[in-house]
Amino acid sequence: MSSLYRELPVGAQVAYSEVYEAARHADLHRSVASLTGSFQSKTIKGRRYWYFAYRDALDGKVRQIYVGPESGQLEALKSRAAESPETGISRMSAAALAHGCAGIARKHFRIIRQIGDAGFFQAGGLLVGSHAFVALGNLFGVDWLQSTHTLDIDFAHAGRGNIAVALPADVDVDVRSAIESLEMGFLPSLGFGGTPSGSYVSSMEPDLRLDFLTTYGRDGSVASAPNLKVSLQPLKFLDFLIEQPAQTALLSDQGAVVVNVPDPARFALHKMIVAGERPVGERLKANKDLGQAAAVIECMLDQGDADRLQEMLDEIETRGPGWRSRFGKGMKRLAAQQPGISGRFSAEVVDRS
């Protein structure tokens, strides 16, 4: 069975680690150096997450900026938050790319960095979809052997009041102005009745699309997010995807941007659920979902993370028959598309649940 990835050389993994830490330090310094506050943590589903809490000078309310999941590197960064960050991140990123790390198109990097600089990720936003898949490859220290080309950039936010998600939702961020400042012709895509749809399409490049997603409510209607200044399109099963997020960096020869991405196990199993939900007319999209799921599953099994996959599968089991049915359909499609990886996944994870 041929693998769906290749392991990056040690030099590439070291280069990625260095540029990620430098970008994270710069990001943290830019966010908190001018604020008076303190680092605080929350434990959610057994994992600890760190925030910087400060009092808003305008309304006196306490706000939280998301810093990231607990790690040894984060502890060191917290102590250095007020120090001036390293320069030359673009040079470091270019070096990581030269060693074999994956980057994204300049145009897409510019968009994601602009939205990131506006504070979207510190305010609870995630990057999902194919760009998150690219970022997970660098996080794992591997190079995916399938195409990651996409014209969509998918963002997600839980909205206010979702306590199951580690990310804060009380920081005001003007995402709409950030999009407009790109001057790339992005206009809101309207839904039925002329209402906002949660998407932006470029008038200069109609295939280039930004989607802002959120968890599915009772009526499935588009949600207004006043604190983000954009509308959010509800998506089924997104609540499972965005819990317990990971943090990584997207690379370009123009620099690096720190982003929140889904937990890898949640990413893979969510792709299988979505593939099981897709109709026959979306077979190409389903195949892409399954290809990404298979690659992440294979990598996690090879790296000894079967227990994490099993933990997420157990959670799906508790979510009801609809979830189990869609996951079962996804498993059948995975077996047809990637029988070797499907067999390993069944033997090492599914049959143990």
**Under DSSP, is residue 282 helix (H, G, I), strand (E, B) or coil?**
helix
Closest CA to 28 of 119, 108, 92: 119
In percent, the amount of the chain with pLDDT more than 90 equals 60
Supply 110's token pair. 């510019």
Q: Higher pLDDT residue, 173 or 349? A: 349
Supply 104's token pair. 């994204």
| pLDDT bucket at 341, cuts 50 / 70 / 90 | very high
Q: Considering the chain, what is the average pLDDT of its residues?
A: 88
| pLDDT bucket at 311, cuts 50 / 70 / 90 | very high
User: Mind listing the pLDDT tens digit for each residue in 251-279?
Assistant: 999 999 999 999 999 999 999 999 999 98
The pLDDT assigned to 59 comes to 66
User: Mind listing the pLDDT tens digit for each residue in 24-77?
Assistant: 888 887 777 666 788 888 888 788 888 888 777 666 677 777 887 888 777 776
User: Mind listing the pLDDT tens digit for each residue in 175-219?
Assistant: 999 999 999 999 988 876 667 789 999 999 989 999 999 998 766
Alpha-carbon gap, residue 353 to 126, rounded angstroms: 29
| pLDDT bucket at 113, cuts 50 / 70 / 90 | very high
Whether the per-residue pLDDT at 166 is higher than 80: the answer is no
The pLDDT assigned to 80 comes to 66
**Under DSSP, is residue 256 helix (H, G, I), strand (E, B) or coil?**
strand
Of 141-145, 162-166, 280-284, give the range with the top mean pLDDT.
Answer: 141-145
| DSSP designation for 352 | G
| pLDDT bucket at 173, cuts 50 / 70 / 90 | confident
Whether the per-residue pLDDT at 248 is higher than 90: the answer is yes
Q: Provide CB contacts within 8 A for 24, sequence distance 6+.
A: 68, 73, 77, 247, 249, 258
Q: Provide CB contacts within 8 A for 306, sequence distance 6+.
A: 300, 348, 349
Burial class (CB in 10 A: 0-12, 13-18, 19+), 108: buried
Closest CA to 243 of 135, 131, 323, 126: 126
| pLDDT bucket at 81, cuts 50 / 70 / 90 | low
Q: Higher pLDDT residue, 166 or 152? A: 152
Model confidence, pTM: 0.88
User: Mind listing the pLDDT tens digit for each residue in 320-334?
Assistant: 999 999 999 999 999
Residue found under tokens 């099994």: 301
Q: Give the mean pLDDT of 94-118.
A: 95
The pLDDT assigned to 163 comes to 46
The pLDDT assigned to 196 comes to 75
